[in-house]
Amino acid sequence: MPNTRPLRPLPELLEEIRACRACADALPLGPRPVLQALVPMGFCYPGRGSGGDNPPRPECAPLWHEKLIERLGNVRLTLLVGQYAQCYFLGNRRKASLTETVAAWREYAPDFVPLPHPSPRNQAWFKRHPWFGHDVLPALQERVGALFASTKPTARDVQSAQFASVKDSTMTKPAIDIQRVYEPLPEGGHHCFLVDRLWPRGLSKEKLANVEWLKEVAPSTALRQWFHKDPAQWTEFRKRYLAELNASPDAWQPLAKAAAEGHITLLYGSHDTERNHAIVLRDYLEKQSRHK
């Protein structure tokens, strides 16, 4: 039978949480639950271990999180910051590593968005994975903006209709991914396109048998050679390549059509994962889709 007992007011629950002593014996500094706008997996500081802070106490989340969520009501977005939150909320749905889980963020959106911890110690992670800034953050910003905009009316029926439309945000639109052509090809229904003008060195036609080659969407030979000689001209390269794309809609429209129908992956051969034409092309295609 469903629980029909009325929920206690949220202030009473917060008072109970702040008085919690459930794992007092295991805390080196004693219990001191901290609960504000962010809801940590463990409300008390777990102390330090040999490699940094200890993991959050396992008693905390099962004891308090469900009660908190029940009282918050109408939760439309939960940011899962770090591996402990992702493990607890996603369970078997999470991937083998935090990076893989964050990279698969569209599988969990729009209700959950897995994120790395914003600690300064993770700066190297952000540099190694530029797709996070290109893909995840803009979609998350749009999702948050849409949620704030949809909370203005107060009538429940109006809110419900608006929130239903918010779920159709860019977080759940077909993704346009990019990756080096030398990495294992993605699975799960992605339509792959090689977007280099030259065939990748060392790869056979059989290796890319299911990949469609759209060489005309790549930068012109003159532009590619110019940028290869001076990669520092990244800003100017982007400007010139965008001009070429604007002048040749027939080259990129097959990609736009495929992206409107499902996930696509743009394959490129460059060693530079932060400054290459596939990044420019992906951003251009996403901009075109938003303007429709």
Question: What's phi and psi for 118, nearest 5 deg?
Answer: -80, 15
What residues have CB less than 8 Å from 61, skipping those under 6 apart?
A: 41, 42, 88
Alpha carbons 126 and 205: distance in angstroms, whole number: 34
d(CA 219, CA 10): 58
For the chain, 292 residues long, give each residue's pLDDT as a single digit of tens. Answer: 455 567 778 888 888 888 999 998 888 888 888 877 788 899 898 898 877 788 999 899 899 888 888 888 778 889 999 999 999 999 999 988 998 899 888 888 888 999 998 888 888 888 888 778 878 888 888 888 888 777 654 444 333 333 333 344 556 666 788 889 998 887 765 789 999 999 999 999 999 998 999 999 999 999 999 999 988 899 999 999 999 999 999 999 999 999 888 889 999 999 888 889 999 999 899 888 766 6
Phi, psi (rounded to 5 degrees) for 101: -65, -45
Residue 6 DSSP SS3: coil
For the record, the structure tokens of 240 come out as 């010139």
SS3 content of the chain, % helix, strand, coil (to 5): 50, 10, 40
Please answer whether residues 265 and 194 qualify as being in contact, where contact means their C-beta atoms are separated by less than 8 angstroms.
no
Cβ contact 253:231 at 8 Å? no
**pTM of the shown model:** 0.60
CB-count exposure of residue 137 (10 Å: 0-12, 13-18, 19+): exposed
Residue type present at position 24 = A
Alpha-carbon span 249 to 215, nearest angstrom = 14
CA distance 194 to 267: 5
Superfamily classification of domain 75-173:
Uracil-DNA glycosylase-like domain (3.40.470.10)
